[in-house]
Chains A and B, each alone.
Chain A
Amino acid sequence: MSDHEYTPTSKVGKWFNDRLPLLTLANHLTDYPTPKNLNYWWTFGGILTFCLITQIVTGLTLAMHYIAHADMAFESVEHIMRDVNYGWLIRYIHANGASMFFLAVYIHIFRSLFYGSYKSPREIIWIIGIIIYLLMMAAAFMGYVLPWGQMSFWGATVITNLFSAIPLVGEGIVTWLWGGYSVDNPTLTRFFTLHYLIPFLILGLVVLHIWALHVPGNNNPVGIDIKKPSKDTVPFHPYIVIKDGFALLMFMIVFAFFVFYSPNILGHADNYIEANPMVTPAHIVPEWYLLPFYAILRSVPDKLLGVVAMLSAILILAVLPWLDTSKIRSAVFRPLYKQFYWILVADVLILGYMGAMPAEGLYLLIARVATAYYFLHFLVILPVLGFKEKTLPIPLSITEPVLGGSTNLAMAKNKESLDN
């Protein structure tokens, strides 16, 4: 951004821009050179921004009617659903919006995994992304507690009890988190406070995420470094804006389907029963987006090790740029990695399914195998693959595969022989 020269045409614009270069920033964002081969998997960044804004706007409006008190929270949510003008709509958008947010973030993460977007020089973008993902999970969990239904209460109990696995100080930490000897009113009020705070922290991190992205520029499906601006790039506006906008419309159709036609399908009926500390529901299941990690937690028979395994499953992603030893970014040119990638996708889906099933018999066995494979992928397969895999020759530019047989191809062949 520092190399950006821009002078506003109007006198007022110039006067303002000399004092606060907002117009320079706006010009940077519109002219920002983007690889011209970005496919629809790259539209989820914009979709995620939309999701965050939607959650903040609907959340603010819900907070005008919600009462964070153990005796009144459940009733106030029903009041929103029945009495508040369009309350049902705002709440259903907010509740399903969380699921849509995670749907989009999982696609966004798996896109990075496929095209190697986490690799040098984009490690910081990736790590900020993982922090955002962790904050999203915290916000979603605490938001789920606020309606004070049975799943809210027992979900909060089970998740906060994870900390009791820490030796020596665990029980003290849990009491501190609760503000009492069980999940109760003090827990609810602090969860509401944090649930309100976290989206703004995420917003700040999103700014850093995009800032860090704009330093090296976007990765692309071919995964090669490109010259910017050049024949390989197009300006962000209007090309990417239009493409992102179209993808967002498609996404909003899916979103609207859930909100209007099956607003409760992603929730649990038990959460329409008010919290009761005397009775635990027969099946405690987290929201769908946390199920793979829940399956990992349950597949380890030891309490502390189960918690450690679950946290490691998430944190291992933060060191992924260093676990993947391959210099080639895109799976397009990594025939073996491409297969392991799809096995990992299947593995995570299997874990998710097992997380929803009771932890016994065959389910437990499959969950254990899938858990072992998950760690095997990151800790063994990825590091070894970088050395063993015979990758395909990568083109020198995005244009080259289209202009096959040109001088570029000779250059590519030449480069390949240099590589070997």
Chain B
Amino acid sequence: MSDKKPERRDFLFTASYAVGAVGVAAVVWPLVDQMNPDASVKALASTEVDVSSVKPGNTITVLWRGKPVFIRRRTQEEISEARSVKMEDLIHPEKDEDRAKDPEWLVMLGVCTHLGCVPLNDKGDYDGWFCPCHGSHYDTSGRIRKGPAPLNMEVPKYEFVNANTIKIG
């Protein structure tokens, strides 16, 4: 750096660059943001599912926001298996009570938290789900137990509209 004193012109340069940078950012942002989910995609935010025909031990898969959602009506054994697991045995500790408000119904995104494949029902070492892509095992609460996935399968926001209908989203 020279030890020349800053002049009026230096101020003008700096101010021009600063204003120019703000202008460029203002133009770039719409070009970047147009790639985010648009209004029509966001409008499909919720879906209602009739679950009256699901028997204990069965799983149905429905599409929500383009992703599969597993809705499983769990058997007593599955519930007790999920609730008896010690927290310290879990990679991503979450109580089954927090994941399934109504213990009989497990609602979660059927998306492996590793790289997004759809795990297979009633497979794997923990009687829950198994992801065929890279070998992640999930238990009867959809919690990751073994394999490369870092997190439990996500439980979306959902509620029972009435005894037979679940609203997801």
Contact = CB atoms under 8 A, between A and B. Distances in A.
Main SS of chain A's interface residues?
loop
A182 B66 CA distance: 6
A280 B37 contact: no
A179 B32 CA distance: 11
Interface residues of B, number: 25
B67 A280 contact: no
Contacts of B134: 298, 359
B161 interface: no
Contacts of A181: 37, 41, 65-67
Nearest to B68: A278
Of listed B32, B37, B67, B115, residue having the most chain A CB within 10 A: B115
A160 B35 CA distance: 14
Interface stretch (A98-106, A241-249, A300-308): A300-308
B117 A180 contact: no
Main SS of chain B's interface residues?
loop
Interface residues of A, number: 35
A277 B67 contact: yes
Interface in B123-140: 131-135
B132 A283 contact: yes
Interface string A169-189: 000000111111111101000
Nearest to B150: A303
B148 A303 contact: yes
B90 to A, nearest CB: 17
Interface of B: 32, 35-38, 41, 61, 63, 65-68, 114-118, 131-135, 148-150
Given A158-B133, A278-B63, A298-B134, A176 B117 contact: no
B40 to A, nearest CB: 10
Contacts of A280: 117-118, 131-133
B37 A284 contact: no
B35 A179 contact: yes
Interface string A253-291: 000000000000000000000000111111110000000
Interface in A127-154: 154
Contacts of B41: 179-181, 184, 186
B148 A301 contact: yes
A371 interface: no
Nearest to A304: B150
A190 interface: yes
B116 A179 contact: no
B38 to A, nearest CB: 7
13 contacts: A154-B117, A161-B114, A176-B35, A180-B37, A181-B37, A181-B65, A184-B66, A186-B38, A280-B117, A281-B132, A284-B133, A359-B134, A360-B135
